[in-house]
Amino acid sequence: MFERRLFFHVDWLLLGAVLLLTGIGVAMIYSTTYVTLSNGAGHPGPQVWTQMYALAIGMVALVICLMIDYRMFAEHSLMLFGGLVVLLIFVLVKGSTQMGAQRWIPIGPFNLQPSEFGRLTVALLLAMVFGENRRGARNTSDLIIGGLFTGVPLLLIAKQPDLGTAVTLIPVFLGVAYLAGLRLRLLGVLALAGLMIAPVAWKFALKDYQRQRIETFLDPEKDPRGAGYQTIQARVTVGSGGLTGKGFRQGTQGQYKFLPVAHNDFIFSVLAEEQGFIGVLVALGLYLFVILRSIEAARWEASFRGLRSR
Amino acid sequence: MSTNLMPDDRRHLAMRLSALQYLVAVAFAALAVGFWVFQVAQHQKFAEMAENNHLRRLPLPAPRGVLLDRNGKVLVENKDIFNIALVREQTKNLDATLQTLAAATGVAEAQLRETVERRRREPSYRPIVLIENATPEQYIAVRARQWELPGIFGQVVPSRRYPEATAAHLFGYVSEITEAQLQKAEYDGAEPGEIVGQAGLEQAYNRLLMGTEGNRTVIVNSVGREISTLDSQSKPPVEGRAVQLTIDAEVQKATEDGFTIAGLNGAAVVLDPRNGEVLSFTSRPAYDPNAFAGGIDRATWASLNTDELRPLQNRALQGRYSPGSTFKMAVGLAGLEENVVNPDFKVFCAGGATFYGRRFACHKKEGHGWVDLRHAIEQSCDVYFYTVGNMLGVDRIHKWATLFGLGVKSNIDLPNEVQGLVPSTEWKAKYTKEKKWYAGETISVAIGQGQVSVTPVSLAVYAATLGNGGTRVTPHLIKAVNEGKGWTPVPAPPPQSKVDVTPEKLAAIRDGMWMVVNAGGTGRRAQIPGHDVCGKTGTAQVISNQGRLAAAKSGRNLRDHGWFVFFAPRDNPEIAGVVFVEHGVHSANAAQITRHILNTYFAKKDGNPLPPPPTREEMRLDFSDRFARGAEGGQ
């Protein structure tokens, strides 16, 4: 299980791109949280250090993962999945409630959010399920089994409630199923079913505030001072950046807090504002490179080992 | 499917991976296009929105120009007041904010709401003044609850300060620009909320006085806190021009004092007959222009509008009254200039005379006996002027009255002047139903009754024109303007008309007016030794004696108005004008006020100490109402 060779076969370009993106992220957090004191001096906000710690933890995790053959995870994915479900149930029963949702398990100074492991675990498990020693295109029964493995955590997470995280499991499921060779016709049927269910779900499954959130996402002008404010300001932030941007630490939307908690989910807007369309293209390019390179890695893996080597 | 299809499976995966890669690439291309649309195609729009977010242009009101009197005494200036204003953009909950503000300041919430409602179409970052001229208590209360009142802040603005109880109608008043005014070309460039002149000089010379609003551009954060000032985009306000008036503060005060002590309402206009400079200008009752300067409250405004005495009316410009006997000089001059009579022409007054089958009484029942022109003016003999008027006909009276400023606008540089009326056959044909002029009507016109009506300012011009020998000067109020680089004199406007009156004929009229004051006439109260005051009294009946009997119970004030027109000294006069006492009963009371005006003027000119205001006793006011008087006839 310990693959020493992996150290020498690290895709340095991929790693470099990821580190570059991380660096850009830290720089943008530095920029937008910078506090200027009345005497002219200043310092970046504490979020920069949080991000740096997270980066260090991430690097450690990276090294550990490199040392372990990922197929080992796939092999134990059912166990991992079991652990995930237990944690999700635990969260529902005993988790700490913040901002109206029960998502976290406090562990000392940290808050563990089990749903964050959802995508990874489900992906591993689905890979195992679809990659089982079976041949040919996957059929309806695979779909149903895979659907069940996705649906259980999805419902548990949606119950917290955290619909946003819950629905991210769906593309994971579809992606794995697609690559595993699920018949396109079945995918089509699935899409059709989704379309037909959507209005029903809209009417019955969603709560008022959830509907409202989707509505303001689609049309932020409906409530420009309330729910739509963040979206509108994010657009203003991005749009005001122009071609070349306002410059490092020169953004007004993030700096003066017109875009609330810009250092968080909206950090990309800060990049767009301060570095302009050019900065956006660089970042998008890096992301695209990371994704294409990752898919490429899957291709190598398949051709190197053979699809059915096990 | 069988095992030999396995390579297919692998190809299958490779294909699907490629498809996924293309899909991702397309999605990222779409994202890039999306960013291009926001950041490049629509950049302008979003850049502006971002700027509106963090740049705040705070208007800095310009102080209005200072008004000085002809000797440099400051008459109208500015003082700083506190306003409490609202920036809607920074409020989270407007209703709650207004409610809290109302509670903190004691101002009615409905009133605050109405102000906001009225200005709702303005950009939400522009401050709306909610409480003008806030008391220190209100200001402190707002400061103390600052955290509960997002979007509410105090501003210090210059506000108009007028001298106490002086020349309110002359200065006019200022207030926030109205919606209607914003549409007008003369207010081009003015912003909503700016203060503009609404009456009097403030309105007439608003352009000069108002200056240019400046602004301070500040960077604010999302909760409206100022981060810093952007000097490059800020602009200091430019103070309005200082204006020197023709007004003489002391003469003005003497005029006001005269009315105040006499306890009378009315109007007075005093001019320099040589050039038309207005030395004093009064209309009573007055209002306090200071009440407008800081935003007039509703109750005060309502009471000003509903007051039966109509304090907002500028009587000197807008009051139309019959001139009574002050009109007689115009008739006498017309008779002389049209060669209908000469100064020695005599008429026998038997206390009345009959024209066209109707008897017209003289105010002196027992009659004046034989009178010539000079004595007819001195004694104000009605019969004499009935006779001359009848010989002239109405059109020749109209011609000369107009040349001397009656029945036309004076074109003084104040807004909303009203035109008086001196009838003519043409006027009657054009503007009345009856059309035809009856010779009998001329008789009443000859003594300034009937259809004749004049404004006080036009009578002042009339007095000045009689004094200067036929030049109908244009009354005006501006002497010089300070453009910031010292005083630039403003030339006097050209006269409205000029007629060369034969000096001997004019002398006869002036003699009569001199005798009114200095011999046995009706204006002796205005006599000032050594200064040869010339004058003429006049009475304007508010209602005929018969009508008065009928209306006696109505409670309206129906007492006569009194006039006194004057100029001095007789030769080369330098002061002329009119005093009008509304329901003042006797023109002698007007002459009494004139006396104090002239005393002050000449004391100042001769370098003597200014006379103290007379006591009421010294004024020897006469309010005896001679109820039973002849049906017509003036004094």
B13 within a domain of the structure (yes/no): no
pLDDT range class, residue B64, cuts 50, 70, 90? very high
Q: Are residues B203 and B132 in the same domain?
A: yes
Q: Are residues B509 and B407 in the same domain?
A: yes
Q: Which of A186, A230, A243, A252 to mutate to test the interface with B (most CBs of B within 10 A)?
A: A252
Q: How many CB pairs below 8 Å do chains A and B form together?
A: 130
Interchain contact B303–A (C-beta under 8 A): no
Q: Do B10 and A295 make contact, defined as CB atoms within 8 angstroms?
A: no
pLDDT range class, residue A5, cuts 50, 70, 90? low
Calculate the alpha carbon distances from A57 to A22, A23, B500, B626 in Å.
Answer: 13, 15, 108, 111
> Which residues lie below 8 Å from residue B462, measured CB to CB, with a gap of 6+?
B326, B329, B330, B404, B405, B406, B454, B565, B578
Average pLDDT over residues A287-310: 75
Q: Which of A77-81, A94-98, A239-243, B137-141 has the lowest mean pLDDT?
A: A94-98
User: So what's the pLDDT on residue B165?
Assistant: 65
Nearest residue to B196 via CA among B211, B213, B171, B174? B174
Residue A25 has pLDDT above 90, yes or no: yes
Q: Are residues B334 and B190 in the same domain?
A: no
Average pLDDT over residues A207-225: 79
> Which residues lie below 8 Å from residue B496, measured CB to CB, with a gap of 6+?
B405, B408, B410, B411, B461, B472, B473, B474
User: So what's the pLDDT on residue A132?
Assistant: 63
Q: Is B635 exposed, middle or buried (0-12, 13-18, 19+ CB in 10 A)?
A: buried
Nearest by CB: B10 against A240, A288, A302: A302
Highest mean pLDDT among B187-191, B406-410, B542-546, B613-617: B406-410
Q: Are residues B290 and B228 in the same domain?
A: no
Q: Which residue of B has its CA nearest to A236?
A: B46
In angstroms, rounded to a whole number, what is the distance separating the alpha carbons of residues B565 and A121? 107
pLDDT range class, residue B368, cuts 50, 70, 90? very high
Interchain contact A238–B (C-beta under 8 A): yes
Q: Do A272 and B39 make contact, defined as CB atoms within 8 angstroms?
A: yes
Residue B158 has pLDDT above 90, yes or no: no
Nearest by CB: A135 against B1, B43, B50: B1
User: Phi/psi class of residue A135: alpha, beta or left (left: φ > 0; alpha: ψ in -120 to 50)?
Assistant: beta
B280 within a domain of the structure (yes/no): yes
Q: Are residues B343 and B436 in the same domain?
A: yes
**Range 69-128 of A in CB contact (< 8 A) with B:** none
Calculate the alpha carbon distances from B227 to B54, B55, B392 in Å.
Answer: 9, 10, 82
How far is C-alpha A158 from the chain's CA centre? 16
Nearest residue to B333 via CA among B413, B418, B399, B386? B399
- Cβ contact B559:B621 at 8 Å: no
Residue A305 has pLDDT above 60, yes or no: no
CA B128 to chain A, closest CA, distance in angstroms equals: 20
User: So what's the pLDDT on residue B378?
Assistant: 94
CA A301 to chain B, closest CA, distance in angstroms equals: 11
Average pLDDT over residues A255-270: 85
State the residue for tokens 């729009």: B45
In angstroms, rounded to a whole number, what is the distance separating the alpha carbons of residues B323 and A135? 120
Q: Are residues B427 and B409 in the same domain?
A: yes
B198 within a domain of the structure (yes/no): yes
Interchain contact A181–B (C-beta under 8 A): yes
Q: Do B54 and A242 make contact, defined as CB atoms within 8 angstroms?
A: no
Nearest by CB: B38 against A238, A252, A295: A238
B22 within a domain of the structure (yes/no): no
Q: Which of A307, A308, A309 to mutate to test the interface with B (most CBs of B within 10 A)?
A: A307
User: So what's the pLDDT on residue B1?
Assistant: 39
Q: Which of B104-108, B410-414, B468-472 has the lowest mean pLDDT?
A: B104-108
Q: Do B32 and A281 make contact, defined as CB atoms within 8 angstroms?
A: yes
Residue B5 has pLDDT above 50, yes or no: no
B272 within a domain of the structure (yes/no): yes
pLDDT range class, residue A77, cuts 50, 70, 90? confident
Which tens digit of pLDDT belongs to each residue from B481-514? Answer: 998 788 999 999 999 999 989 999 999 999 999 9
Q: Which of A189-198, A284-293, B471-480 has the lowest mean pLDDT?
A: A189-198
Nearest by CB: B13 against A242, A276, A307: A307
Residue B77 has pLDDT above 70, yes or no: yes
Highest mean pLDDT among A152-161, A214-223, B185-194: A152-161
User: So what's the pLDDT on residue B630?
Assistant: 38
Nearest by CB: B28 against A257, A288, A302: A288
Highest mean pLDDT among B186-195, B422-431, B619-628: B422-431
B325 among known catalytic residues: yes
pLDDT range class, residue A214, cuts 50, 70, 90? confident
Which tens digit of pLDDT belongs to each residue from B345-367? Answer: 999 999 999 999 999 999 889 99
Nearest by CB: B222 against A235, A257, A303: A257
Q: Are strands B265-271 and B74-86 parallel, antiparallel or unpaired?
A: unpaired
Q: Do A240 and B43 make contact, defined as CB atoms within 8 angstroms?
A: yes
Residue A199 has pLDDT above 50, yes or no: yes
Q: Are residues B231 and B367 in the same domain?
A: no
User: So what's the pLDDT on residue A200?
Assistant: 87
User: B369: domain CATH number?
Assistant: 3.40.710.10
Q: Do B220 and A240 make contact, defined as CB atoms within 8 angstroms?
A: no
User: So what's the pLDDT on residue A82?
Assistant: 92
Which tens digit of pLDDT belongs to each residue from B509-556? Answer: 999 999 999 998 788 889 998 899 999 999 888 766 666 666 666 656
Average pLDDT over residues B393-406: 95
Interchain contact A288–B (C-beta under 8 A): yes
Residue B14 with chain A: CB contacts under 8 Å: 299, 302-303
* Residue type at position B7: P
Q: Do B50 and A236 make contact, defined as CB atoms within 8 angstroms?
A: yes
Interchain contact A252–B (C-beta under 8 A): yes
Q: Do A239 and B38 make contact, defined as CB atoms within 8 angstroms?
A: yes
B63 within a domain of the structure (yes/no): yes
Catalytic residue among B280, B283, B325, B458: B325
Average pLDDT over residues B4-15: 63
Q: Which residues pair with B83 in a beta bridge?
A: B155
Nearest residue to B40 via CA among A253, A283, A239, A279? A239
Please count the other Cβ atoms lying within 10 Å of the Cβ belonging to residue A60.
10
Interchain contact B13–A (C-beta under 8 A): yes
**Range 404-463 of B in CB contact (< 8 A) with A:** none
B26 within a domain of the structure (yes/no): no
User: So what's the pLDDT on residue B294?
Assistant: 67
User: So what's the pLDDT on residue B441?
Assistant: 92
In angstroms, rounded to a whole number, what is the distance separating the alpha carbons of residues B362 and B375? 14
State the residue for tokens 């003429």: B536
Average pLDDT over residues B322-336: 95
Q: Where are the domains of chain A?
A: 70-206
Average pLDDT over residues A33-42: 80
User: B228: domain CATH number?
Assistant: 3.90.1310.10
Q: Are residues B390 and B421 in the same domain?
A: yes
Residue B222 with chain A: CB contacts under 8 Å: 256-258, 260
* Residue type at position B251: V
| Structure tokens given for B122 | 């303005």
Q: Which residue of B has its CA nearest to A258?
A: B222
Q: Which residue of A has its CA nearest to B16?
A: A179
Q: Do A291 and B24 make contact, defined as CB atoms within 8 angstroms?
A: yes
B111 within a domain of the structure (yes/no): yes
Nearest by CB: A239 against B25, B45, B219: B45
Which structural domain, as residue segments, surrounds residue B160? 56-241
User: So what's the pLDDT on residue A1?
Assistant: 44
Q: Which of A183, A230, A240, A244 to mutate to test the interface with B (most CBs of B within 10 A)?
A: A240
Residue B302 has pLDDT above 70, yes or no: yes
What integer best gives the mean pLDDT of chain B?
Answer: 88
Q: Are residues B217 and B274 in the same domain?
A: no
Residue A291 with chain B: CB contacts under 8 Å: 24
Average pLDDT over residues B560-582: 94
User: So what's the pLDDT on residue A69?
Assistant: 76
